[in-house]
Structure 1
Amino acid sequence: MTTAQSKLVYPPLDYSVTLADAVDFHIKHNPSAPIYTFAEEGKSGITDISFLEFGRATHRVAHYIRPARDGPDRETIAFVALTDSLLYQAVTLGIVRAGHIVRNG
């Protein structure tokens, strides 16, 4: 176990934290800890995506979907994407962060 993993701070497990809140919690408390680790085909080594990088991506998606949170809340947004789970989850959480409901394919 690496040092970063042994020092993680966890959000409360009492259902008081939404998924978007959990990402913000980790941005604040565990910014450099990896949320995703993957290897690229044909390359040596691994790539880590930190909570900070992932969280910032969800904020960018939210701003793109709904700048300044203008308009009505809780609109249903459906999307179909043939992509990796990292991008798919960043878009899904960005839509949730924007105050909308996600309808997956």
Structure 2
Amino acid sequence: MRIKKLLSLLTLVVTFSAAFLPAQSALAATDKESQAISVVTGKININSADAQTLASSIKGIGLKKAQAIVDYRDANGPFINIQDLASVSGIGQKTVAKNADLLTVK
């Protein structure tokens, strides 16, 4: 009888733990995203945002160009100012100007 109770309790703990792990992953993703998007200003940090965040936030930028931004940043270091974004192949001054109020390099 005690073994059945212990097994039931163990099953309950394992079930609860398995249900809790995806929530922890979601919290970690939210924390990472909050570093990329300022809570105070709502601006996207082009030096810390991942490709998905960049693609969903910057007008005229799809996932392919967003990945090019991340690749450029990885190869050349952080952007000094938002105008440096135009150094990425396929991104011009017009795109930067259109999104200037949404972007930061902090």
Shorter chain as denominator, the TM-score bin is under 0.3
Higher strand share: 1
Higher helix share: 2
TM-score, structure 1 normalization: 0.27
